Amino acid sequence: MTRKKIPDLELRLGNGTAAARVGPILLTLSKALREVERCRTTLKAMGFSQKRWQEIVNEVNPELRFVLRAQVMDLILGYLKSAGKPVERNRLVRALYNQAAGPMQRIRQTISANLRTGNLTLYSGNKVGLPAWKNRAE
């Protein structure tokens, strides 16, 4: 069995290093991914079925296949809406894991990231819920 030779990468581009130029590229990529996610959730909120918005994405650019699968956040929101009240964080993780939403670590990371961004709210007793519920309780 022969191994493929890994090409030598030139780390210098022009009069700067490639590493110094990666930051702006990663920032642009991050913004683009957020925009794609915003569009996907907007289509879903407008009542388009998952199948339909997958067709729309395929029509726009078939290379964006990674956007087509249901996201963990969609499953989290669905579970919380069906519960109708804040759910204990570990119970939420276990329930989503049992629904094959993804690895437990990814589910936990998604919950943590959305707590930081304000898409989810932390309640007493380590419970997770929707921000709208906080306003309703007050």
pTM here is 0.55
Q: Distance between CA atoms of 33 and 30, rounded to whole angstroms?
A: 5
Q: If you average pLDDT over every residue of the chain, what do you get?
A: 79
Residue 92 φ then ψ, to 5°: -60, -45
| Residue range 55-97, pLDDT digits in tens | 877 788 777 666 655 678 888 988 999 999 999 999 999 999 9
Q: List, in sequence order, every residue forming a beta bridge with 123; answer none if it has no partner.
A: 127
Nearest Cα neighbor of 32 from 73, 66, 78, 74 is 66
Higher pLDDT, 4 or 78: 78
Q: Is residue 110 packed enough to be buried (19+ CB in 10 Å), middle (13-18) or exposed (0-12)?
A: buried
Residues in the chain: 138
37's torsion region: left (phi>0), alpha (psi -120 to 50) or beta? Answer: alpha
In the DSSP assignment, the letter for residue 102 is S
